[in-house]
Chain A
Amino acid sequence: MSDIIALFFNAEIMAKTAGFLLDGLWMTLLLCLVVIPVGALGGLAVAVLAALNRRWLNIMLVIYVDVFRALPPLVLLIFVYNVPPFAGYRISEFEAVVVAFLLNTSSYYGEIFRAGIESVGRGQREAARSTGLGWWQTMAWVVLPQAVRNVLPDLVSNTLEVAKLTSIASVIALHELMFAARSAQQATFNYSPLILATVIYFVLLWPVVRLLSRLEHRKIAAR
């Protein structure tokens, strides 16, 4: 029993590696701060462009969304990190994560926004257009506010997944929380840093899970 405590819940090692993990935590937060807005805005662009209903544009958007939803994010990240150097561009780890996440998450966010836009009745658009609003004005002021409200639980849920997914940045040695924990584990021959990282992830994301749960219940109640 004491072996298990020494190997997994070693307070001394946790204290010693906490600073190192904290550096990783900051990077994880920075990643979230960049990849979530970038992915969401990319998804919004995909959905709004799809709503334009132009044949060739839609075909390209369907291909984009299908390809990047089919590829495992880990595969995508390794690909994005390793290919540019062959084209003469030394891509930083951070850039690679942002690009890979843009491609992956904008596809998912795009599908969610698209479902939201489709959930807004045609009558809303017609009413707005009948008063002289243009297509973009109608989209921005009438359709999107309702669309976002209608799919808010899905948006929050996807955001939660994106936040958790930032841990895959560890495979290209970006010093975020997961990488810090793995490094500390290997340096100390002890699993306590991993336990510590797990606790940090949980504390960080649990409020979001609670929020999501409340949103989902509200949506069910509203039906």
Chain B
Amino acid sequence: MTAIDRPILEVQGLRKSFGAVEVLKGIDFRLRERELAFIIGPSGSGKSTFLRCCNRLEEPSSGAIRVDGTDILAHGVDINAVRRRIGMVFQSFNLYPHMTALGNVTLALRLASRKSKAEATDIGQAALARVGLAEKAHAYPGELSGGQQQRVAIARALALEPKIVLFDEPTSALDPELVGSVLQVMRDLREAGMTMLVVSHELQFARAAADRVVFMEDGVIVEQGPPAQIFGDPQQARTRAFVARIDGHR
């Protein structure tokens, strides 16, 4: 197995129920290092729940998840240490409104990674520079546009040098004219070799940038493959129906 094939994320038989409702019905999935995978599917298909199980924001009902070789569901695993290796970007940004952009980016560096203030500031500034917001370090979230806020949120995840970043509909809450700046940052991350798992409706972006597209419906992965296959020549009837439906809407 070459380094490029090393799986960063390995999911086996993942199930998740909320009460009597089973949302994930056995997911098997592998994401290789430097790979960018897109998860698409109708709402309620379990995409976000799947993503949120990968850092245990949702507790899986059963199954196995390994991140960079660590069994994250193991008894006694230090979940806080695990989460520092898994960045997450949310639909609604979730920036801390009482802290500056730099404060948002450095909080976990200070508290979780135990960096000195000077070191955390250096890392934080570098992370903000990476998303093109070095000059906004001392702005509060309320003073930033939605696109800028989401880029700060990406910087907050990047600052911890994660092995993988999970994106949960990162552009869905943005005005159309602000989407491009966030996608550009994601494109740059891909160029830099970041491993990314993205739940999103930005299908054009998926077509252009994803290594793999995963179609989920009703709690299972129906089909996955290169964008050309999923969008151009889907093998499954349900994939075809979904792709035709969204193509019709554009």
Could you tell me if B92 and A132 are in contact, using CB atoms closer than 8 angstroms? Answer: no
Q: B residues engaging A (CB < 8 A)?
A: 55, 57, 80-84, 86-88, 90, 92, 94-98, 107-108, 111-113, 153, 156-157, 160
Which residues A126-145 have CB closer than 8 A to chain B? Answer: 126-134, 137, 141-142, 145
Bound-complex Cα distance A91 to B76 (A)? 48
Bound-complex Cα distance A131 to B80 (A)? 8
Nearest-CB distance from A151 to chain B (Å)? 14
**Residue ID in chain B nearest A123 by CB atoms:** B94
Inter-chain contacts of B157 with A (CB < 8 A): 130-131
Q: Is A213 part of the contact surface with B, judged by Cβ < 8 Å?
A: no
Which residues A112-169 have CB closer than 8 A to chain B? Answer: 121, 123-124, 126-134, 137, 141-142, 145-146, 149
Main secondary structure of the interface of A (DSSP, over half): helix
Could you tell me if A130 and B111 are in contact, using CB atoms closer than 8 angstroms? Answer: no
**Residue ID in chain B nearest A130 by CB atoms:** B88
What class of interface size applies to chain A in its complex with B? 10 to 19
**Residue ID in chain A nearest B160 by CB atoms:** A131
Could you tell me if A133 and B80 are in contact, using CB atoms closer than 8 angstroms? Answer: yes
Q: Which of B84, B90, B98, B107 contacts A126 (CB 8 A)?
A: B90
Could you tell me if B112 and A132 are in contact, using CB atoms closer than 8 angstroms? Answer: yes
Inter-chain contacts of B94 with A (CB < 8 A): 121, 123-124, 126-127
Bound-complex Cα distance A146 to B160 (A)? 24
Q: A residues engaging B (CB < 8 A)?
A: 121, 123-124, 126-134, 137, 141-142, 145-146, 149
Could you tell me if A145 and B108 are in contact, using CB atoms closer than 8 angstroms? Answer: no
Inter-chain contacts of A123 with B (CB < 8 A): 90, 92, 94
Could you tell me if A137 and B112 are in contact, using CB atoms closer than 8 angstroms? Answer: yes
Chain B CB count within 10 A is highest, among A121, A131, A142, for A131
Bound-complex Cα distance A175 to B26 (A)? 72
Bound-complex Cα distance A79 to B6 (A)? 70
Q: Which of A121, A126, A141 contacts B111 (CB 8 A)?
A: A141
Which 3 residue pairs across A and B have the least CB separation, nearest first?
Answer: A131-B108, A127-B94, A132-B84
Q: Which of B83, B92, B97, B98 contacts A131 (CB 8 A)?
A: B83
Bound-complex Cα distance A121 to B55 (A)? 19
Could you tell me if A132 and B80 are in contact, using CB atoms closer than 8 angstroms? Answer: yes
**Residue ID in chain B nearest A121 by CB atoms:** B94
Nearest-CB distance from B51 to chain A (Å)? 11
Could you tell me if B81 and A127 are in contact, using CB atoms closer than 8 angstroms? Answer: no
Nearest-CB distance from B93 to chain A (Å)? 8
